[in-house]
A and B are shown apart, each in its own frame.
Chain A
Amino acid sequence: TQLLEQSPQFLSIQEGENLTVYCNSSSVFSSLQWYRQEPGEGPVLLVTVVTGGEVKKLKRLTFQFGDARKDSSLHITAAQPGDTGLYLCAGARGYSTLTFGKGTMLLVSP
């Protein structure tokens, strides 16, 4: 049973478009992280959200943690080809190790 469901699995858009990807679970997490993984590289941490309802912004990326701390979303405004990559969410319960979703593969074409 996968604890973290990410959707969509794959997204192909044109430069300049906006998009939202989702990370959902039936479990409560103490914190949730988003990573981006580019081809041939390891995942790179983008943000950690801790408080239910929390919103964090990183340039054109907006991350939100659900009120119940079971889900999260990532919104990208005016996507650019450099945003291409695999977006992974990972949840933590207390001090336990992370549980990862399968990821959303984003392709932004010029």
Chain B
Amino acid sequence: ETGVTQTPRHLVMGMTNKKSLKCEQHLGHNAMYWYKQSAKKPLELMFVYSLEERVENNSVPSRFSPECPNSSHLFLHLHTLQPEDSALYLCASSQDHDNNEQFFGPGTRLTVL
């Protein structure tokens, strides 16, 4: 138990669906992250939020839309996804954006049909 929870743990969706991934951290951290983990690839950083403001967006397609309503919650809204978007989506948090020790949630295994 790392103090970071993610729901749902598994998600299967069609290419025309709209769904959202949720992340919550109970650690009092100020920074939150979304990563994509695909087979045989390094973790890919997607978005970084610090104190609810987006500080980094690594050229992620617009079909992925993040939302950070407060420092404890982070969402990833999904729409019109492609099969190649199937992956494990990991949320992480750290005390601050310049603190590199990150605590990860268990991930959401996403399958796009």
Chain A residues proximal to chain B, CB less than 8 Å: 2, 4, 31, 33, 35, 40-45, 48, 88, 90, 92, 95, 97-103
Whether a CB of chain A sits under 8 angstroms from the CB of B74 is no
Query: Whole-angstrom distance from the CB of A71 to the nearest CB of chain B?
Result: 16
In the complex, which residues 83-102 of chain B have their Cβ closer than 8 Å to any Cβ of chain A?
A: 90, 92, 97-98, 100-102
Residue of A nearest to B104 (CB): A42
Whether a CB of chain A sits under 8 angstroms from the CB of B105 is yes
Main secondary structure of the interface of B (DSSP, over half): loop
Whether a CB of chain A sits under 8 angstroms from the CB of B21 is no
Q: Chain B: how many interface residues by the 8 Å CB criterion?
A: 23
Residues of A with C-beta under 8 A to B41: 102
A35→B33 CA distance, assembly (Å) = 16
Contact A100 B42 (CB under 8 A): yes
Whether a CB of chain A sits under 8 angstroms from the CB of B43 is yes
Contact A40 B90 (CB under 8 A): no
Residue of A nearest to B92 (CB): A42
Extra inter-chain contacts (10) besides given A43-B104, A48-B100, CB under 8 Å: A2-B42, A4-B42, A31-B100, A33-B101, A40-B106, A41-B106, A88-B43, A95-B98, A97-B45, A100-B43
Query: Please, could you name 7 A-B residue pairs with CB atoms under 8 Å apart, sorted by A?
Result: A41-B106, A42-B107, A97-B33, A97-B56, A97-B100, A102-B40, A102-B41
